[in-house]
């Protein structure tokens, strides 16, 4: 398979899934040079929702604390997102 064909394939980042205090699950997915943080509500959603996207070759980490999501890309800048109530 060529590099062009592989770039169109979505794959999970080697980052563990995290659950916030509201029961939503967050995970990271790679596709075409972008990292997407996605959210899914296991009780309601059939498809994950894109929460944030970052053009990066590698996602180095993700963590959730007090309903805030911390995301670290290859440039070593920490991005903080906050999960608001539904």
- Give the range of the structural domain holding residue 24, as residue numbers without chain letter: 3-82
pLDDT in tens, 61-79: 888 888 788 888 888 888 8
The total number of structural domains that make up the chain: 1
- Tell me the per-residue pLDDT of 21-61, one tens digit each, with 9 for 90 and over: 888 888 888 888 888 888 888 888 678 888 888 888 778 88
List the structure tokens of 64: 């959730």
Q: What is the pLDDT, as a whole number, of residue 8?
A: 57
Q: How far apart are alpha carbons 20 and 40 in whole angstroms?
A: 11
Q: What end-to-end distance do the CA atoms of the chain give, in Å?
A: 42
This model's pTM is above 0.75: no
- 2 pLDDT higher than 70: no
How far apart are alpha carbons 61 and 42 in whole angstroms? 22
pLDDT of residue 1: 45
Instruction: Supply the mean pLDDT for the chain.
Output: 79
Residue 10 above 60 pLDDT?
no
């Amino acid at each position: 398979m060529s590099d062009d064909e592989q770039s169109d394939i979505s794959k999970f980042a080697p980052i563990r899934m995290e659950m916030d205090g509201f029961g939503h699950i967050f995970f990271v997915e790679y596709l075409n040079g972008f990292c997407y943080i996605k959210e899914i509500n296991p009780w309601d959603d059939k498809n994950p929702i894109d929460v944030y996207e970052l053009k990066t070759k590698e996602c180095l980490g993700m963590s959730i604390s007090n309903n805030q999501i911390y995301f670290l890309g290859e440039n070593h800048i920490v991005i903080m997102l906050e999960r608001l109530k539904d």
